[in-house]
Every structure is written in structure tokens, then in C-alpha cells.
């Protein structure tokens, strides 16, 4: 096989497709398995010219032959700062008829179709929402299947790479296949890691292309040459198809001289340029061109994807007839080729474009880019499309060009912050460093620091903020200074530098000229946030009282609400739940009366309020505030807060036993946390995800223990985040059977036996863990001690769910001692308290644990009622851990065979088989009943996912729940079960 494929998919010099038989067999298997649980991503890697594009083109041909829709897009070397270029390129490839066949395409974000301007500003578009929307549309396209091929991703812009990362992690719920090609050594570390993880789990098929065998090259491509000469050509090419064809072409044209040296060992295209010999051969082709043809080739190299005859005419100042005639000659020489659907023109290979572009005299190249920008502007192209060309020729004296780059940066801030930061860097490098431009420099540097932070480059952002703070100012504490300090403090906190952030704030509060009272309130709020994150709220309690008083004296309602929420969280952390309740109630009263516009400045504190309400076990109020806050931060582009909101909301869903949605929320939070580069935030989301995985146990997901290990590795030190991660690891260790490790983790993090370093609000949960670990380790006296401690702590908190936690520990001790009556009483009371607070997860667990003890003390009806309620809560919430517990204790609760529960006062006649089976089906959730019906009709998982607009993985999860609840082993038994039930109904 040969690479000779450029953008058009036409082989160089009509070279035949040869070799790569094994690779094609592997790709054919992927097509066969599409939508049936096989790989969802194909990763084609290899050096430049090795045949990646040719293999993808052949694969695309085979996919189309099977009725699949194939979309192909390319990233390009000189458009690396054009957001979403490969996606826009792919979706522009759709014929008009495709939109009729695939109506969901109309819902694709316009930005990905290269259509129109993007709403400007960092808050105009939520880029993570855009990623989810794209995946959802791809999952609803329907038809026989979709193949999206994105090539040369080593050149892709950061926004495209983020979207690819999302599609790899969250595969679209349809017969959808993502194909990527790239040079491995030039691929970003993040994308390489994502694809490697996918290859490890089986969701990514990696196809690594090496040199073509000599026999394939020589026999199929150079059969007319003497064997020694053909072998010499092959040796010089190192088996690289592009090298081989270039040498072959040069030899056939000259028929003289030895085989040129290609500097063996030099890797073509690794940004150092091609090997010297190959470069000379390719450039030699240009010497044969007439002046117009040379100008056309140079214009095409500059224009890239916008190379059309009309655009080329604008750049070369040539008439249409002359351009067309020149293009005919270039096509005969195979230097220029028609693009797809005749919309554009392209040079034969990206390397040819690179060589031509670099060979243009610098002053002429700048002029060509200037002409290209003007032509695009005249054609109505967006500022972002023009910016790529403007940055090539802009100078510090060209204010109009600088303004366009700033506009493009502002335009891209929400969806492509890394690109926004790049263009601002170009402007700042050219902006005169004098007093006249000082104000603009401060503002643009702040904007660039914010963009870098949004793209996860926190250290670079912090360094820029240092620079702004060191710049001369107006002699007063202006808004730029206030914004810079606030952003730098938040950046230091994201980096885990809580001490540095606090020191900076205290210095600013003493600074002269002093901040205004309003600015003092804002700085004081940041100071409290730092102290709470470092678990040192008592040290700033008096400061916060002063901030609250100052905000009220100024009539600063926003500052007042923020202070109330922070104080409430601090008091909750310290265990003063009465004070926390009062402060949170006051904050909620003010928040509920404010408009969304006013709350935009309070987004972070809405999350704090929701988090506090979770500690207070006010789940409904907390979720309401979090939902409102999420909508605001999405609309205003405060991306760094979204992960916080999603994680706290996931915690609510966990506590209220909505495990499936809890896991979905936690995974969204993880994706955002990883992109932002904040280690504490990532630790937070991973820790919660580990807790959820313990309950979910879904097939194909990572083990909770490994996720908890990653959470601990993500942060260190004695911070709130680190303690949360350690707690998750302790629970995962206990679940995996390592009770000694679980106890050691809690005692180490808590400060040995007094556990004084653990958050007071959740201390009963850690003590319950120690109780269970001690029982597992054969230390009943120690277990009784920890259970008693848990009760003392819970009584001080006076929270129903925390008291239930303590009672569970005491019940476990009683059960270990053989006192079933006491165990039943304590578990029953714990379930009542849990239900009172809305903690459905704890309620279900207590009900199930109580039921065998109820049965043991002679109350089988009460035991059955508890078992069925606990089982229903667990199964409806997708809690596989508790459903498994219920099945293990079923014989103990009901005897053997099990009998259904009967409400008190009803006759105890043996129910019919039909009623027993109906009771089983009644335990299925509405979505599980849908899946049951579709499975029984014979539909495969992929078709079910398509009908229900969910992922194949979700369908498998529901099927596994159905098998568990109906006590079946496989899909075939589901079909037989439904048939038998239908027959039973007809018979009766």
C-alpha cells in the first residue's frame, strides 16, 4: 500500500493499493462488530508518508460498501489555531441529500459545521455542553451507521483535541465509529494517554503502520525496473511508501545518475522538515513550472482549505481563464488535485504544502496571507477564520489587524480558550511596551491569563498574573488589580497552594493604596474560602464576621449572601449544625428572592450553599440551588465551577439512591476536572466516583479501588480534598476485603484514635467504617468502642441520617454478638431516621440488613415487608451492591423456597406462580421494562440503544439488572421468560 493519498483520497501517480492485508482484516472485523460491543475508536498511527491516509481511505470505501455514512476531516499544519477545523471539514463533506437521510444533523452545533459566527465572549458558549451535544447528535443519526474519520490529528487545534477526547471517553450511543490518524511522536500527551487507556480497555483498536515489505514495493510499484535498482530505491526509502514513490518518480523522469540519498534515519515530517534529499526532489518539481503555475501553487499552499479558483485568482491577481489554464497544467503534473465534491483544491500531499509554504520568500508570504485575509473578509468569513492569516503578517503598527486578533480571541474564549490565549499572545508580543499602551496591556494580559486557566494551563496563568501585579498602575486600587488578585488566588487554590493564596490576600488587605470597602469584602470572601479549603475555618471566623458586617453596612447584598454561605459551610464543617442551619437559611432566603442576573456573581457561593445543605441533609433544597447555579454557570461560561456543581449534585443522587444518574454526573465532572488541570478538584470528583462505583458495580467500568487510588494520588497534604480522597480509598479497601488497610487509612488521616482531623459532619461515617473493619479483623471490643464513639458524635450533630449511621454500627455489633432482637431494633430505627432525612441509600441498606434479624425473632411478615421495600429502592436506583445483598439474604428472610411478603391482616394463602412472577416484574423500573420488551422482540443492544437514545453500555447495564431481578442467566432466557409469561396470561 502507498500513502500517496492526500486530501482527495486519490493515489499518487495512480499507484495501486498494495500490502496492509493484516491491517485491513482487523478493520473489517471492526465493521462487522460495529454496534455489537466491539471497539468504538480506531487509532491509526505511523510516521509521515507511511500510508495512514491511504489505509483510512480504503477503510472508508469498505464502510460505504456496507451502507455506512462516512465523513472525513483533516487537521492541517498551518491551521492549528483554527478551532474545530477537522470537524467542520468532516461535516462540510456531507452531501445535501445526507441531511434528508440524517435529520438529526440539523441539531449539530453550527460551530462544528463551520457555519456562521460564534457568540462572543468566554460565557457565550459552554464548550463541555457543546461536546455533549455533539456526542448526542452523533448518537441519534440513525441509519446503517456512521464513520467519522479525522486525519492528521497531530496537527489538530486544542479545542478539537478536547472534543476527540470526549468522544473517546463517551462513545456515541449508536452504530458509530470514530477513526483517527496521527503521528505518534507529535501527538499531544493528553490525547495519547486517552487513546492508550482505551486500547487497554478494548474500546480503541490501535493500528500501527510500519514500513511496507520490500516485495510489495518492488513487485507492485517498480516491476519495470531492474531488480538491483529497485532494491536500491527500496533501501534508500526505508520502506516508506511516499519516499519510494518520490524516488521512483524522480528516476523515471531523469533516467540518469545514482539513487539520491534521503539521509536515512531522518524522520520525515517530525516538524524538522523532510530529509534533505527528499526535500530537494520535491522542490525540483517546482523549477519546471511557469511563473503563473508557481504563483498558483504558492497561493494554494497559503489558502489551505480555502483554496478555490476564485480565491487563488484574488491572491495571484489573475483572471479566471488564466487560473483555470494554470490549474490544468498543475493537475497534469499531479501537484494540485481537485478537492472533494469539487469545492476546493489541494496540493498533492501535506508535505508538499509545507515545502512550498516554507520556500516562499518571507515578504511575499506575508503579502499572500494579507491578501487571503482580505479575500475571506470580503466573502463574509468569520474573524476566527481570518485570524489564521492575520497572525502571519500582523505588526505592531497595524492596529486594525491587532483589533481583529483581539476580537477573534474574545470570540473563541468560551469554546477554544487555548486558541484565544494564542492570539492574545501574538497581540501582546507586538503591542508597544510604553505608558500609552499600559492599560491595554494589563487588560489583555488578564484576559490571556483567564483563557490559559480555562484551558487547564494553570501555572502559565499564574505567571501572567504575577506580571500584571508587577506592572505600574494608576495609583489607586482599580478594578483590574482587584480582578487579577481574585483570579490569582483562585488559581493558587486550584494548584493546591492554599498557603500562598492566603498570604497574598492578607498582603493585599494591608496594601496601600487600600482596597475600597467593596473590594475588601471580595478579598475577605476569598480569604475565608482558602481557610475552609485548608480545614482552618476557626482561624478566620472573626474575619468573616467583620466581612459580613461590612457587606451589610454597604448594602452589598451579593457580599452578604456570599459571607453567609461561607460561614454556614465553615460552621457545618466544624460541627455547629445549629449555627450552620441559621446562616444557610438566611442565605437561602436572600438567594431565592434574587434574579439569575444578580446571581451570576454568586455562582461559586450557590455551590457552597448547596454543599452546606447536603451536610444539613436538606437534599431537595440543595438540588434546587445546584440546578439553578449550573444553569447560570453554563450560560456565563464559568467552566471552572461546573465540576464542583456536578460533583455535589452527584453526591445528592448517591445519598438518595439514584446511582445511575450519580455516576453520569460524576463522569461529567471528571471530564471537566481533568481539562482544567486542578488536582484538588480532580481528587474530589474521583473520590466521589469511587463511592458511587462501590454501589453501582457496573460491568466494564474501572474498579472503585483503582479510582480511589488515583484520587489519593491526585492531591496531597492535609486538605479537605485529600481527606475526602483518603476516605474513599478506605471504603474501597474495606469493600475489597482489606479491612486492616481501611482502618489504617482512617486512623492516619484522622490523627490516630481521637480522629480530630476528620470533618465533624461526616465523622460518624468514618467511625462506622472502623466498626466494620474491627469486626472483620476479629476485634469485637474495639468495634463496640468505635460504635459508641459514633453514637456520641451523631448525637452532637443531631442529624437524622448521621444518627442512622451510628445506629448501624451499634446494630452490626449486636448482630455479631448474636442479639438479633437488638440488631433488628437498631436497624429498623436507623431506616426510619434515614427515610426522615431523605437518605434513601442508607434507608435501603438498613431495611435489608434488618430483615433477616426480623425474621429470626419471629416476625416474618415484617421481615418480608422490609426486604421488599429495601430491594425496590435499590433496584429502582440502580444499586447493584444492595440488590446483590438482597439476593444473598433472600433465603434467610423467606426460608427456602422464598415466600412473598404479606401485609398484616391479609390471608397467608400460597400465591400462584403467575403472581410471584408478576411481583418480580413489578420490581423492574420503567426503563428496565422498556429494555425487557425490546430484548424479547429480538433487537440487538445497538438497536435498543438507538431507540432509547442511550449508550450501548447503558443498555448492557439495564440488561444485567433485569437478569439479576428476574433470576435469569442470559438474553435467551429473557426471551423465553417473556414468552412463558405471555402464555401463562393467555391460559389464565
- Phi/psi at 775 (nearest 5 deg)? -65, -40
Q: Is the separation of the CB atoms in 578 and 534 below 8 Å?
A: no
pLDDT at position 316 is 92
- List Cβ<8 Å contacts ≥24 apart for 826-835: 827/853, 828/854, 828/866, 829/804, 830/803, 830/804, 830/805, 831/804, 831/866, 831/870, 833/800, 833/801, 833/803, 833/804, 833/807, 834/800, 834/801, 834/804
* DSSP-assigned beta bridge partners for residue 180: 43, 150
Which residues, given as ranges, of the chain have pLDDT below 50?
Answer: 1-13, 123, 262-274, 341, 897-919, 982-988
* Separation between Cα atoms, residue 326 and residue 295, nearest integer Å: 9
* Separation between Cα atoms, residue 2 and residue 52, nearest integer Å: 9
For residue 263, give Cα distances in angstroms to 46, 460, 950: 19, 39, 53
Q: Is the separation of the CB atoms in 413 and 637 below 8 Å?
A: yes
* Separation between Cα atoms, residue 282 and residue 57, nearest integer Å: 24
The count of C-alpha atoms lying within 13 angstroms of the C-alpha of 586, restricted to the half-sphere facing its C-beta, is: 19
* Separation between Cα atoms, residue 331 and residue 335, nearest integer Å: 6
Neighbours of 382 (CB within 10 A): 18
For residue 623, give Cα distances in angstroms to 607, 629, 651, 685, 829: 10, 10, 10, 17, 26
Torsion-angle region of 268 (φ positive above 0: left; ψ -120 to 50: alpha; else: beta):
beta
* DSSP-assigned beta bridge partners for residue 178: 41, 148
Q: Is the separation of the CB atoms in 346 and 7 below 8 Å?
A: yes
* DSSP-assigned beta bridge partners for residue 41: 178, 204
* Separation between Cα atoms, residue 688 and residue 678, nearest integer Å: 16
Q: Is the separation of the CB atoms in 155 and 411 below 8 Å?
A: no
* Separation between Cα atoms, residue 681 and residue 722, nearest integer Å: 10
* Separation between Cα atoms, residue 4 and residue 776, nearest integer Å: 66
- Cα-to-chain-centroid distance, residue 820: 48
The count of C-alpha atoms lying within 13 angstroms of the C-alpha of 772, restricted to the half-sphere facing its C-beta, is: 23
pLDDT at position 664 is 86
* Separation between Cα atoms, residue 835 and residue 705, nearest integer Å: 29
Nearest in space to 492 (alpha carbons), one of 719, 305, 776: 719
Q: Is the separation of the CB atoms in 66 and 144 below 8 Å?
A: yes
* DSSP-assigned beta bridge partners for residue 73: 150
Question: Would you call 126 helix, strand, or coil by DSSP?
Answer: coil
Nearest in space to 91 (alpha carbons), one of 106, 73, 78: 73
Q: Is the separation of the CB atoms in 269 and 46 below 8 Å?
A: no
Torsion-angle region of 262 (φ positive above 0: left; ψ -120 to 50: alpha; else: beta):
alpha
Neighbours of 968 (CB within 10 A): 17
**What's the grid cell of residue 960?**
444485567
* DSSP-assigned beta bridge partners for residue 71: 148
Helical H segments across 701-762, by residue range = 704-714, 720-735, 739-750
Question: Would you call 188 helix, strand, or coil by DSSP?
Answer: coil
Question: Would you call 128 helix, strand, or coil by DSSP?
Answer: helix
* Separation between Cα atoms, residue 779 and residue 18, nearest integer Å: 71
* DSSP-assigned beta bridge partners for residue 337: 346
**What's the grid cell of residue 686?**
474521583
**Preceding amide of 897 cis, omega within 30:** yes
pLDDT at position 965 is 73
pLDDT at position 973 is 64
DSSP letters for 311-337:
HHHHHHT--HHHHHHHHHHHHHTTSEE
Question: Would you call 634 helix, strand, or coil by DSSP?
Answer: helix
Q: Could you report the per-residue pLDDT of 494-507, keeping only the tens digit for each?
A: 887 888 888 888 88
* Separation between Cα atoms, residue 583 and residue 726, nearest integer Å: 29
**What's the grid cell of residue 923?**
420490581
Nearest in space to 425 (alpha carbons), one of 467, 365, 374: 467
What 3 state SS string does 781-842 have? Answer: HHHHHHHHHHHHHHHHHCCHHHHHHHHHHHHHHHHHCCCHHHHHHHHHHHHHHHHHHCCHHH
**Strand arrangement of the beta sheet that strand 69-74 belongs to:** 69-74, 146-151, 176-182, 41-45, 204-208
Neighbours of 499 (CB within 10 A): 12
* Separation between Cα atoms, residue 119 and residue 412, nearest integer Å: 9
Amino acid at each position: 500500500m502507498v500513502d500517496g493519498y492526500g486530501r482527495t483520497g486519490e493515489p499518487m501517480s495512480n499507484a495501486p493499493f498494495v500490502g496492509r492485508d493484516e491491517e485491513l482484516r482487523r478493520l473489517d472485523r471492526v465493521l462487522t462488530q460495529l454496534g455489537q460491543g466491539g471497539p468504538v475508536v480506531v487509532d491509526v498511527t505511523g510516521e509521515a508518508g507511511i500510508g495512514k491516509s491511504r489505509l483510512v481511505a480504503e477503510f472508508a470505501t469498505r464502510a460505504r460498501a456496507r451502507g455506512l455514512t462516512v465523513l472525513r476531516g483533516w487537521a492541517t499544519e498551518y491551521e492549528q489555531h483554527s478551532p474545530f477545523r477537522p470537524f467542520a471539514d468532516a461535516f462540510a463533506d456531507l452531501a445535501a441529500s445526507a441531511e434528508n437521510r440524517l435529520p438529526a444533523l440539523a441539531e449539530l452545533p453550527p460551530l462544528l459545521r463551520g457555519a456562521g459566527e460564534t457568540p462572543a465572549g468566554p460565557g457565550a458558549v459552554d464548550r463541555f455542553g457543546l461536546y455533549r451535544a455533539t456526542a448526542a447528535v452523533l448518537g441519534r443519526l440513525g441509519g446503517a451507521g456512521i464513520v467519522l474519520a479525522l486525519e492528521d490529528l497531530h496537527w489538530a487545534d486544542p479545542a478539537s483535541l478536547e472534543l476527540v477526547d470526549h468522544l473517546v471517553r463517551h462513545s456515541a450511543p449508536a452504530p458509530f465509529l470514530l477513526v483517527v490518524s496521527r503521528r505518534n511522536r507529535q501527538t499531544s500527551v493528553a490525547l495519547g494517554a486517552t487513546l492508550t487507556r482505551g486500547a487497554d480497555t478494548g474500546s480503541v483498536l490501535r493500528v500501527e503502520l510500519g514500513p511496507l515489505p520490500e516485495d510489495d514495493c518492488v513487485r507492485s510499484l517498480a516491476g519495470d525496473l531492474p531488480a538491483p535498482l529497485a532494491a536500491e530505491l527500496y533501501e534508500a526509502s526505508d520502506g516508506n511508501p511516499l519516499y519510494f514513490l518520490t524516488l521512483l518518480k524522480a528516476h523515471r523522469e531523469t533516467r540518469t545518475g545514482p539513487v539520491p540519498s534521503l539521509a536515512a534515519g531522518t524522520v520525515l515530517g517530525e516538524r524538522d522538515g523532510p530529509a534533505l534529499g527528499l526535500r530537494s526532489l520535491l522542490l525540483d518539481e517546482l523549477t519546471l513550472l511557469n511563473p503563473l503555475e508557481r504563483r498558483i501553487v504558492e497561493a494554494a499552499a497559503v489558502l489551505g482549505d480555502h483554496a478555490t479558483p476564485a480565491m487563488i485568482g484574488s491572491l495571484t491577481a489573475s483572471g479566471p481563464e488564466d487560473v483555470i489554464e494554470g490549474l490544468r497544467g498543475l493537475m497534469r503534473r499531479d501537484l494540485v488535485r481537485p478537492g472533494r465534491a469539487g469545492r476546493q483544491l489541494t496540493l498533492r500531499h501535506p508535505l508538499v504544502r509545507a515545502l512550498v509554504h516554507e520556500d516562499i520568500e518571507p515578504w511575499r508570504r506575508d503579502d499572500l496571507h494579507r491578501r487571503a485575509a482580505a479575500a475571506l473578509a470580503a466573502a463574509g468569513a468569520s474573524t476566527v477564520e481570518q485570524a489564521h492569516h492575520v497572525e502571519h503578517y500582523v505588526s505592531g503598527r497595524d492596529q486594525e489587524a491587532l483589533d481583529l486578533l483581539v476580537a477573534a480571541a474574545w470570540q473563541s474564549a468560551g469554546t477554544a480558550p487555548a486558541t484565544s490565549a494564542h492570539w492574545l499572545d501574538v497581540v501582546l508580543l507586538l503591542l508597544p511596551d510604553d505608558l500609552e499602551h499600559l492599560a491595554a496591556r494589563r487588560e489583555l494580559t488578564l484576559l490571556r491569563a483567564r483563557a490559559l486557566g480555562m484551558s487547564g494551563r494553570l501555572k502559565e496563568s499564574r505567571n501572567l498574573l504575577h506580571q500584571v501585579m508587577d506592572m505600574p498602575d494608576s495609583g489607586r486600587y482599580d478594578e483590574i488589580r482587584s480582578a487579577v488578585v481574585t483570579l490569582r488566588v483562585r488559581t493558587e487554590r486550584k494548584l493546591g497552594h492554599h498557603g500562598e493564596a492566603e498570604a497574598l490576600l492578607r498582603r493585599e488587605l494591608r496594601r496601600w493604596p487600600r482596597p475600597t470597602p467593596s473590594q475588601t469584602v471580595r478579598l475577605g470572601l476569598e480569604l475565608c474560602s482558602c481557610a475552609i479549603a485548608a480545614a482552618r475555618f476557626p482561624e478566620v471566623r472573626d474575619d468573616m464576621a467583620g466581612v459580613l458586617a461590612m457587606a451589610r453596612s454597604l448594602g452589598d447584598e451579593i457580599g452578604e449572601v456570599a459571607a453567609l454561605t461561607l460561614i454556614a459551610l465553615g460552621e457545618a464543617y466544624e460541627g455547629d449544625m445549629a449555627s450552620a442551619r441559621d446562616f444557610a437559611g438566611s442565605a437561602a432566603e436572600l438567594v431565592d428572592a434574587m434574579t439569575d442576573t444578580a446571581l451570576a456573581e454568586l455562582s461559586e457561593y450557590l455551590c457552597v450553599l448547596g454543599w452546606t445543605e447536603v451536610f444539613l441533609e436538606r437534599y431537595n433544597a440543595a438540588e434546587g440551588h445546584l440546578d439553578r447555579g449550573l444553569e447560570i454557570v453554563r450560560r456565563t461560561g464559568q467552566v471552572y465551577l461546573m465540576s464542583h456543581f456536578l460533583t455535589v449534585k452527584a453526591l445528592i443522587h448517591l445519598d438518595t439512591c439514584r446511582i445511575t444518574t450519580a455516576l453520569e454526573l460524576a463522569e461529567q465532572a471528571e471530564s471537566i476536572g481533568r481539562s482544567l488541570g486542578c488536582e484538588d478538584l480532580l481528587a474530589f470528583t474521583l473520590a466521589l466516583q469511587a463511592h458511587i462505583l462501590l454501589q453501582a458495580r457496573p460491568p466494564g467500568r474501572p474498579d472503585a479501588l483503582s479510582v480511589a487510588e488515583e484520587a489519593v494520588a491526585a492531591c496531597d497534604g492535609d486538605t479537605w480534598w485529600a481527606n475526602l480522597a483518603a476516605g474513599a480509598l478506605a471504603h474501597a479497601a474495606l469493600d475489597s476485603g482489606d479491612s486492616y488497610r481501611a482502618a489504617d487509612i482512617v486512623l492516619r488521616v484522622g490523627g490516630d484514635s481521637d480522629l480530630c482531623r476528620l470533618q465533624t459532619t461526616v465523622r460518624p461515617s468514618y467511625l462506622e467504617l472502623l466498626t466494620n473493619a474491627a469486626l472483620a479483623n476479629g476485634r469485637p471490643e474495639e468495634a463496640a468502642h468505635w460504635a459508641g464513639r459514633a453514637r456520641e458524635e451523631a448525637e452532637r450533630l443531631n442529624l437524622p441520617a448521621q444518627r442512622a449511621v451510628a445506629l448501624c454500627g451499634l446494630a452490626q455489633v449486636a448482630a455479631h454478638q448474636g442479639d438479633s432482637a437488638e440488631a433488628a431494633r437498631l436497624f429498623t430505627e436507623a431506616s426510619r431516621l434515614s427515610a426522615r432525612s431523605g437518605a434513601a441509600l442508607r434507608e435501603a441498606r438498613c431495611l435489608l440488613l434488618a430483615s433477616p434479624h426480623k425474621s429470626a425473632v419471629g416476625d416474618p411478615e415484617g421481615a418480608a415487608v422490609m426486604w421488599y421495600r429495601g430491594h425496590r429502592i435499590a433496584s429502582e436506583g440502580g444499586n447493584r451492591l444492595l440488590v446483590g445483598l438482597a439476593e444473598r439474604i433472600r433465603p434467610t428472610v423467606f426460608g427456602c423456597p422464598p415466600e412473598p411478603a404479606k401485609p398484616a391482616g391479609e390471608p397467608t394463602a400460597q400465591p400462584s406462580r403467575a403472581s410471584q412472577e408478576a411481583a418480580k416484574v413489578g420490581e423492574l423500573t420503567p426503563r428496565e421494562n422498556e429494555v425487557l420488551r425490546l430484548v424479547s422482540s429480538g433487537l440487538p443492544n445497538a438497536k435498543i440503544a438507538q431507540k432509547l437514545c442511550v449508550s450501548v453500555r447503558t443498555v448492557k447495564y439495564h440488561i444485567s439488572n433485569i437478569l439479576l431481578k428476574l433470576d435469569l442467566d442470559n438474553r435467551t432466557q429473557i426471551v423465553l421468560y417473556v414468552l412463558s409469561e405471555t402464555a401463562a396470561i393467555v391460559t389464565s
